[in-house]
Amino acid sequence: MSKKILVGRGFSQYNVLCQATDEICQGFINAGYQTEVIDFHLPNAYEQFQKCLHNPDNYSFYFSMQALYWDEEKTTTYQLQNIKRIGWIVDDPIYHDERLSGSTGKNATALIVRDSHANIIKHDYPHIDHVETLYHGGFICSDIIPYCKRKINVFFPGTYTPLTDAEQRIDEIDGIYHQVALAIKPRITGRNLSHSWRDELKAYFSSLQVEVSEKEFHALEYIMSPLDFYQRTFMRTYIIESLLKNNIDVSVVGSGWDKYNGPGKEHLHILSHTGIDINETVRLMGNSKIVLNNTNITDGLHERILSAMLAQSVCVTNGYTLLDNLFQDEQELITFSLDNLETLPNTIKHLLANPQKCEMIAKRGYQSALQSHTWIHRGEQIINWISRQTPFSY
């Protein structure tokens, strides 16, 4: 087997997946492999890529984040069918239907960051040869400031969308499906924020005693996908708002925050009105006492959690079962309940009033994340899995 890996490096918002690809490549190198990286930002990169595919025996496999060019396997990039390939999809598969459907699936492995999403791909795209779950990695901070000297109390990196904009997406759903979406909204917000919109959609039809086949539900997922965006927007708005209106200063980066006009606006500190490069975001984490995370991912990890821990910040995130399996709450990070958000402001105030406790949590979290959860480590895991069939473990 060749010890060289062909790597496709594509475009990503805030350079997140590009940087992740670079660090995964370092993991490949640590495991004894060479990498040949095709940077699709550059002119003539696609032509170079096709030339490489004419010699598939030169490579152990082709790797890319988001399964780059899998959608062209049956047309212009048919040579991909002749090479083993690994595509690591880090979003809901609903957003990558074209690539998954366009792939022949032969010699293809789809790595997915959530167990439930892996099951969806196994059911909806049975032509894909292999589907495995591999959780997100985190970015290592190279500029960590001593905890007691950090200038940012609470940091949240992420964009802001007014809830009215998310509601408009639901209003644009046509016909009877719009009524269904309206019925699901209260089942995934308020004290139901931890509920999965897919599960609630299934439960809704079950309550009506309406049978929906797997094929029909797959089609429904695409129609109802604005519910996913709505839930994430609702969650982010209410978490940040709960802190601001309790006089807690929150520093943010990302587009849209200038549109925030809710209570406690005077406590919102916009460090950048646009999204910034992931390396700069990680540097700011290294100057933050607390990094706040919110997610409706309950059976996977989010890069923000791990990067915060690797920056020796206290990660404060909504809790769920998988986190309990990997980390010790109150020891390596702090969790809060999405269904009981009124407790979050007091949690933050208590942490800020106890810097020694925070520093200990930050150090423990750092050691745990550094040992098992960097992007570099994920690259090493991929090699162990593909060469030795070693199961992914954490």
pLDDT at 80: 94
Segment 353-362, tens digit of pLDDT: 999 999 999 9
Is 253 a domain residue? yes
In a domain, 325, yes or no: yes
**341 to 157, 242, 287, 291: CA distances (angstroms):** 19, 8, 26, 17
Residue 36 shares a structural domain with residue 23: yes
Q: Burial level of 88, CB count in 10 A (0-12/13-18/19+)? A: buried
Whether 199 and 331 map to the same domain: the answer is no
Burial class (CB within 10 angstroms; exposed 0-12, middle 13-18, buried 19+) of 285: buried
Nearest-angstrom CA–CA distance, 281 and 155: 10
User: Could you tell me if 321 and 248 lie in one domain?
Assistant: yes
* Mean predicted confidence (pLDDT) in 104-117: 94
Taking 80 as the threshold, does the pLDDT of residue 1 lie above it?
A: no
Inside any domain, residue 394: no
Residues 284 and 152 in one domain: yes
C-alpha dist (Å) from residue 2 to 59, 114, 175, 232, 380: 5, 30, 54, 43, 17
303 and 359 fall within a common domain: yes
Number of domain units in the chain: 3
Q: The tokens of 313 are what?
A: 């910040």
In angstroms, the CA 321 to CA 349 distance is 25
Task: Note the pLDDT tens digit of each residue in 248-289.
Answer: 999 999 999 999 999 999 999 999 988 799 999 999 999 999
Residues 269 and 215 in one domain: no
Q: What is the pLDDT of residue 387?
A: 87
What domain range includes position 331?
A: 147-164+236-372
Question: pLDDT by residue (tens digit) across 89-100?
Answer: 998 888 899 999
- Which of 12, 8, 1, 16 lies closest to 36, judged by CA? 8
61/125 same-domain check: yes
Domain endpoint, select from 193, 211, 228: 228
**Where among 206, 228, 250 does a domain terminate?**
228
Average pLDDT over residues 323-345: 94
Is the per-residue pLDDT at 120 higher than 80?
yes
- Mean pLDDT, to the nearest integer, of 131-155? 96
Q: Are residues 216 and 249 in the same domain?
A: no
Does 182 share its domain with 241? no
* Same domain, residue pair 101 and 183: no
Q: What is the pLDDT of residues 18-61, one digit of tens each?
A: 999 999 999 999 999 999 999 999 999 999 999 999 999 999 99
**What is the amino acid identity at position 271?**
L
The pLDDT value given to residue 23: 98
| Residue indicated by tokens 């004894």 | 32
Asked if the structure places residue 88 within a domain, the reply is yes
pLDDT digits (tens, 9 = 90+) for 205-219: 999 999 998 888 888
The three-point CA angle 85-39-114 to 5° equals 45
Return the percentage of the chain with pLDDT > 90, whole number.
84
Query: Does residue 142 lie in a domain region?
Result: no
Three-state DSSP class for residue 358: helix
pLDDT at residue 62 is higher than 80: yes
Q: Does residue 393 sit within a domain? A: no
What's the CATH number where 9 sits? 3.40.50
What is the residue-averaged pLDDT of the chain? 94
Residue-wise pLDDT for 148-188, tens only, equals 999 999 999 999 999 999 999 999 999 999 999 999 999 99
User: Cα-atom radius of gyration of the chain, to the nearest Å?
Assistant: 22
Is residue 365 situated within a structural domain?
Answer: yes
Kindly state whether residues 198 and 133 are assigned to the same domain. no
> Are 364 and 380 within one domain?
no
Residue 25 lies in a domain: yes
CATH code for position 295 = 3.40.50.2000
8 Å CB contact between 281 and 20: no
